[in-house]
Chains A and B, each alone.
Chain A
Amino acid sequence: MMLTALALAGTLAAAQAPSVRLAAAQDCPQNPNCVPGLKRVYGIDPGPNLVKMAVADSGARALDDGIAEVAIVFSSNPELSRPDFFTLRDDKHMIGPDHIVPVVRKSLLRRYGAPLRRRLNAASRLLNTLALRGLNQQVIDGRLPQAVGGEFVDANGLGGSGKRMPGPKIVIGYQTFDENQTLAYMYAEALRGAGFRVDVRASGLRPATVKALRTGRIGMYPAYSDTIREYLGGKTLREAVAKLHAEPTALSPAQDANTFTMKKATAQALGITKISDLGRYWGKGVLARAASDPLQDEQWAVAPQSVLDLPGAWQLSQGTGVTVAIVDTGAKLDHPDLAPNIWTNFGEVPGNGVDDDHNGYVDDVHGVDLTTTTPSQDLSDGHGHGTHVAGIVAAAANGRGVVGVAPKARLMIVKVMNAQGVGTTGAVAEGIRYAAANGARVINVSIQGDDPDQRVNDAVAAAGAANALVVVSAGNSARDIDSQPSYPAAIPAANLIGVAATSPEEGRSLDPQSNFGRLNVQLAAPGQQILSTGNDGNYQFKSGTSMASPMVAGVAALMAAVNPNATAPDLRSLLLGHATRSSLPVGAGYLDALNAVLATSTAVGYNTTQAPRVQVLQATVKRKRTQVQVAVLGSTQAIRKYRVLLDGKPAATLAARGSPFTVTVRRAARRAAVEALDASGQTLARGQRKVVQLKAGKRGVSTGRGIGT
């Protein structure tokens, strides 16, 4: 996709587009789901506002480039997953539902009967439109349709090699475009998994494919329900395909239908939510301006001209639903720019001196204080560093003060340094573990130390197992940390990013005090003269890599919000892969919020397409209550429920849910297991772990090496 055009597109549209233009394929004037349908069903006609696109399904691109305000985009196009796109409601039902449906010759269905039908239906059920977009994205990224389709079936429990089914080989045809080929291989792999012998072959365009089915050269092919019904003619799908001596099996929930799509901002500005609204607005167009906070003009790193391009990214995401842990000196919780976004642990009753949620910590309502071994929590910030860092990540967009990089993210306060800004590696390690175990997707650690501590490495790895990304500052000693390491930046981990600081003037120069290193420092981000929240309740300027790291953490939160399935290594890879290249002595370049967030919205990480794996991260028991924390990696498409077993006996059943999750059972046990089950009750993945007695936290916080801000 053309990323850089996004921010400009709206502006161009506002300045140059007095009319609402419709980008559509060349056949739009003849396509019943386009101009004829608009005239017949809605009584509207785009007329001269029709922009014919030479390339099939390139409407999304037309919106990005500002050459149209509305575009026809296929519903299985991965671009439609972008959060800045808005699909208009088809309020008069002009567009028929175009479900994926295997159309099978009757002779085959007679020969193989229910087993064939059951297997095809099971494969169809696995697929929904979002999953289909994911498959298409993988092929767009250069993978083979055969591998993508087969892998999808393998990962969701229908693959393998079943007992050989006697009978002739089933030949599956496909129309010669990637999506249909992927679907053909998906069904083929599902049939092989049940023991059928299958061949897959290209059968040409629709007319040739239909002819091949009618003449028996192919036994089935994945069709599109409404398209094939209209093409063959007939009141029903069954009646239509009967002309080919074929029958449809069950419709897949997945669809590849036309959609009328707009940029969300454009649609909001024009007040368009449904297709019939288009009739009122041909010829008009105004765009809304984003709201801003009073001091936003003093936040140089937030300006559209900076390397970050946050206003562009905010059109896509503001970090809703993502928790970012601030492992630092605490924070001024009641700062007006922080208070709206402070994370709350609803499992904990404030001030009762009890570990209500059995996580090992007493009264950890908004976070935890690891600067002391006393059970209570004092999250106040006597230094100011943590408050400043927290504001950079997620100061609220509330019309006052400053605005954070992810203004709707939640801030979990993990205090590991005292009022002098010093602490221990033991506290840092426990802080990272606490953050990951309590739901942080991103953990910011603006801390520098010269000595390694294996406990911190282990904590970063544990955070990785819980799918948390750890973002750390490179340090402020003006040195190359490839040759003279600084920790935790030099820890090698697939879920950790080290960040150098840049100075104003568009943020393209390294801060003279910033550490650097092409291997150990991956990104550079604005870090000098950064305005953010102060622990006196006002606003302060601070400089250093401590300020650059939360810039990256905030962008990671924006990314995690647009694509909750992205793994921590995926987020790291997307941040690095879409950084702006530079001559700075860091690995990937400058942080680029817009490119990173936009790429994340449609990205399909390889690891999310693989067979699910259940990991029991921890299992603890206290007072006859067993608490199990579970992470699920890989594809969760086929998972319908989880079964918790204690000492081998079923103890609880949960509906499918996001990962990681925690379940508490009122029963003591010595071993806990969790199984992921599909719709038929088959176990797709299993994880287990020995249950240990819950121990109070803070036991190692005063040990280890010294660290500081």
Chain B
Amino acid sequence: MNATPRPETRWEQSGEGRFSRGLAASAFAAAALALTAAAPAGAAPRQATISMSGQGITEAVVADLAYFYRHAVRNPPRFSLVGGNTYTGIADAARGVVDAGMVSRNLGATDPPGLVLTPIALSGVCLVTNVANPVPGITRAQIQDIIAARVTSWSQVPGSTRTDAIVAVTLDPTVGSRSVFDSVFVDVATPVLYTPRTLDASTQVRNFVESTPAAFGYLDLALTGPLHTLTYEGVPCARETIVNATYPAQRPLGVVTRGKPRGALKRFLRWVATSRKARQVIATRYVPWNR
């Protein structure tokens, strides 16, 4: 993990001054929206609250950005973040339960109309094994063989020192990483005959692979720390190869809103897109969207 240097000056002036004059009115509007029901009359001075729900991996990035944003600007808003998955983010944003939904995929045709995606970062979906099984790399053809159950043992995979059965793990079809895996790594013509363990969340996959020496799976770049990451067709899954687009399995992390972002949320997202600090935070694990 890279330690990000801390600015000596705690208030980041650049950019914030431009909208500070309009802060009072818009912040109060946002605060009124967020606190209408919950805040009692006579509570402490109003502070804008940005509420979001949705994908856990995106939540982690947004929470970190929120921490540094609060140290960077005057009169920072409160953040109310609730994890879950991309579905909850999209549904809650569409229904007005939250100001924004946190997602890890592009919007699709079946999503509610009127939503706008603001990408924050670009991530990769990496192929992983247990650290005790450091297979250097895998090819597209080998993946088809595993999916089609033509290869079922590590003894059939060059570079592996293991001889036991491959314990494949996958994610539920509605999870963003799964759709990236299916679309990027699996040929349409490949018969899906393997029988992987199906889990609901990327963190579950990480824990499973971390503790299962014969495991083979895929998950988000940020969660690969305790695992061995395989190269795909000789290309490592890393920020550099995602930046230069040589690694193919990519997906956006971002927030969706009903219409364009407004008020305190808009200012936060502008800071995310323009601040050097925000880019540093994102770059610790991902690729900043506006690189």
- Rounded to whole angstroms, the CA-CA distance of A576 and B200 in the bound complex is 11
Whether B3 contacts A576 by the Cβ 8 Å rule is no
Tell yes or no: B85 within 8 A of A by CB.
yes
Tell yes or no: A10 within 8 A of B by CB.
no
On chain A, the residues within 8 Å of B211 by CB distance are: 2, 55, 58, 61-62, 65
Identify the stretch in A309-317, A459-467, A471-479 within 8 Å (CB) of chain B at 4 or more residues.
A459-467
On chain A, the residues within 8 Å of B91 by CB distance are: 518-519, 522, 587
Tell yes or no: A125 within 8 A of B by CB.
no
On chain A, the residues within 8 Å of B130 by CB distance are: 54-55
Whether B207 contacts A2 by the Cβ 8 Å rule is yes
Given contacts A458-B37, A689-B41, contact A576 B88 (CB under 8 A): yes
Identify the stretch in A223-231, A527-535, A542-550, A604-612 within 8 Å (CB) of chain B at 4 or more residues.
A604-612
Identify the stretch in B92-100, B148-156, B233-241, B244-252 within 8 Å (CB) of chain A at 4 or more residues.
B92-100
- Rounded to whole angstroms, the CA-CA distance of A457 and B95 in the bound complex is 14
Tell yes or no: A150 within 8 A of B by CB.
yes
Tell yes or no: A1 within 8 A of B by CB.
yes
Whether A615 contacts B38 by the Cβ 8 Å rule is yes
Whether B40 contacts A494 by the Cβ 8 Å rule is no
List B123-159 residues whose CB lies under 8 Å from chain A: 130-132
Whether B38 contacts A464 by the Cβ 8 Å rule is yes
Tell yes or no: A48 within 8 A of B by CB.
no
Tell yes or no: A578 within 8 A of B by CB.
yes
On chain B, the residues within 8 Å of A181 by CB distance are: 1
B229 to chain A, nearest CB (A): 16
Our pick among B57, B83, B174 for the contact of A606 (Cβ within 8 Å) is B83
On chain B, the residues within 8 Å of A610 by CB distance are: 78-79
Whether B43 contacts A615 by the Cβ 8 Å rule is yes
Whether B37 contacts A687 by the Cβ 8 Å rule is no
Identify the stretch in B13-21, B60-68, B179-187, B261-269 within 8 Å (CB) of chain A at 4 or more residues.
B60-68
Identify the stretch in A14-22, A135-143, A339-347, A369-377 within 8 Å (CB) of chain B at 4 or more residues.
A135-143
Tell yes or no: B81 within 8 A of A by CB.
yes
Whether B40 contacts A615 by the Cβ 8 Å rule is yes
On chain B, the residues within 8 Å of A494 by CB distance are: 51, 53, 82, 92, 97-98
- Rounded to whole angstroms, the CA-CA distance of A690 and B43 in the bound complex is 9
Whether B56 contacts A201 by the Cβ 8 Å rule is no
On chain B, the residues within 8 Å of A665 by CB distance are: none
Question: A676-697 vs B: 1/0 string, CB under 8 Å?
Answer: 0000000001111110000000
B36 to chain A, nearest CB (A): 7
A528 to chain B, nearest CB (A): 25
Given contacts A58-B211, A607-B82, contact A587 B59 (CB under 8 A): no
Whether B213 contacts A147 by the Cβ 8 Å rule is no
Given contacts A151-B67, A587-B88, contact A54 B131 (CB under 8 A): yes
On chain B, the residues within 8 Å of A144 by CB distance are: 1, 64, 281, 284
- Rounded to whole angstroms, the CA-CA distance of A614 and B91 in the bound complex is 30
Whether A577 contacts B56 by the Cβ 8 Å rule is yes
Given contacts A58-B211, A142-B56, A689-B43, contact A147 B132 (CB under 8 A): no
Whether A143 contacts B60 by the Cβ 8 Å rule is yes
Whether A687 contacts B51 by the Cβ 8 Å rule is no
Interface centre among B10, B40, B87, by most A CB within 10 Å? B40
Tell yes or no: B204 within 8 A of A by CB.
yes
B151 to chain A, nearest CB (A): 23
Whether A573 contacts B53 by the Cβ 8 Å rule is yes
Our pick among B53, B203, B285 for the contact of A141 (Cβ within 8 Å) is B203
Our pick among B43, B64, B83, B210 for the contact of A573 (Cβ within 8 Å) is B83
Given contacts A144-B284, A689-B40, contact A519 B67 (CB under 8 A): no
On chain A, the residues within 8 Å of B96 by CB distance are: 492
Whether B60 contacts A54 by the Cβ 8 Å rule is no
Given contacts A461-B37, A520-B95, A607-B80, contact A573 B88 (CB under 8 A): yes
Whether A569 contacts B68 by the Cβ 8 Å rule is no
Tell yes or no: B172 within 8 A of A by CB.
yes
- Rounded to whole angstroms, the CA-CA distance of A146 and B64 in the bound complex is 9
Our pick among A2, A65, A520, A606 for the contact of B82 (Cβ within 8 Å) is A606
On chain B, the residues within 8 Å of A146 by CB distance are: 3-4
A133 to chain B, nearest CB (A): 16
Tell yes or no: B189 within 8 A of A by CB.
no
B132 to chain A, nearest CB (A): 5
- Rounded to whole angstroms, the CA-CA distance of A494 and B68 in the bound complex is 26
Our pick among A140, A574, A587 for the contact of B87 (Cβ within 8 Å) is A587
Give A692's nearest chain B residue, CB to CB: B41
Give A690's nearest chain B residue, CB to CB: B42
Whether A581 contacts B204 by the Cβ 8 Å rule is no
Interface centre among B56, B96, B207, B208, by most A CB within 10 Å? B207
Tell yes or no: B193 within 8 A of A by CB.
no
Tell yes or no: A236 within 8 A of B by CB.
no
Tell yes or no: B188 within 8 A of A by CB.
no
- Rounded to whole angstroms, the CA-CA distance of A494 and B36 in the bound complex is 13
Whether B204 contacts A1 by the Cβ 8 Å rule is yes
Tell yes or no: B165 within 8 A of A by CB.
no
Whether B56 contacts A464 by the Cβ 8 Å rule is no
Whether A616 contacts B40 by the Cβ 8 Å rule is yes
Whether B39 contacts A615 by the Cβ 8 Å rule is yes
A645 to chain B, nearest CB (A): 13
Whether B203 contacts A140 by the Cβ 8 Å rule is yes
Interface of A is mostly: mixed
Given contacts A141-B60, A147-B68, A493-B97, contact A569 B42 (CB under 8 A): no
List A170-188 residues whose CB lies under 8 Å from chain B: 178, 181
- Rounded to whole angstroms, the CA-CA distance of A610 and B63 in the bound complex is 11
B211 to chain A, nearest CB (A): 4
On chain B, the residues within 8 Å of A200 by CB distance are: 3
- Rounded to whole angstroms, the CA-CA distance of A513 and B4 in the bound complex is 56
Tell yes or no: A671 within 8 A of B by CB.
yes
Given contacts A147-B67, A150-B67, contact A569 B82 (CB under 8 A): yes
- Rounded to whole angstroms, the CA-CA distance of A617 and B96 in the bound complex is 24
On chain A, the residues within 8 Å of B201 by CB distance are: 577-578
On chain B, the residues within 8 Å of A251 by CB distance are: none
Whether A576 contacts B95 by the Cβ 8 Å rule is no
B3 to chain A, nearest CB (A): 6
Tell yes or no: B173 within 8 A of A by CB.
yes
Whether A570 contacts B82 by the Cβ 8 Å rule is yes
B146 to chain A, nearest CB (A): 21
Tell yes or no: A595 within 8 A of B by CB.
yes
- Rounded to whole angstroms, the CA-CA distance of A62 and B210 in the bound complex is 11
- Rounded to whole angstroms, the CA-CA distance of A493 and B38 in the bound complex is 11
Tell yes or no: B112 within 8 A of A by CB.
yes
Interface centre among A145, A458, A492, A685, by most B CB within 10 Å? A492
Given contacts A671-B42, A690-B42, contact A606 B81 (CB under 8 A): yes
Given contacts A144-B1, A464-B37, A615-B43, contact A576 B84 (CB under 8 A): yes
Whether A145 contacts B37 by the Cβ 8 Å rule is no
Tell yes or no: A470 within 8 A of B by CB.
no
B154 to chain A, nearest CB (A): 15
List A563-597 residues whose CB lies under 8 Å from chain B: 567, 569-570, 572-574, 576-578, 580-581, 587-588, 595
Tell yes or no: A3 within 8 A of B by CB.
yes
Whether B95 contacts A492 by the Cβ 8 Å rule is yes
Question: A614-635 vs B: 1/0 string, CB under 8 Å?
Answer: 1111100000000000000000
B130 to chain A, nearest CB (A): 8
Pairs A-B, 4 closest by C-beta atoms: A461-B37, A142-B60, A61-B211, A606-B81
Name 7 extra pairs, CB < 8 A, besides A1-B204, A142-B223, A587-B87. Answer: A2-B211, A146-B3, A146-B4, A492-B95, A522-B88, A606-B83, A610-B78
Q: Which residues of B contact A (CB under 8 A)?
A: 1, 3-4, 6, 8, 10, 36-44, 51, 53, 56-57, 59-61, 63-64, 67-68, 70-71, 78-85, 87-88, 91-92, 94-98, 112, 130-132, 172-174, 199-201, 203-204, 207-208, 210-211, 213, 222-223, 226, 281, 284-285
- 21 pairs, CB–CB < 8 Å, chain A vs chain B: A55-B210, A141-B83, A142-B285, A147-B67, A147-B68, A147-B281, A150-B67, A192-B6, A461-B36, A461-B37, A462-B37, A464-B37, A465-B40, A492-B97, A522-B88, A573-B84, A574-B84, A576-B84, A578-B200, A588-B85, A607-B81
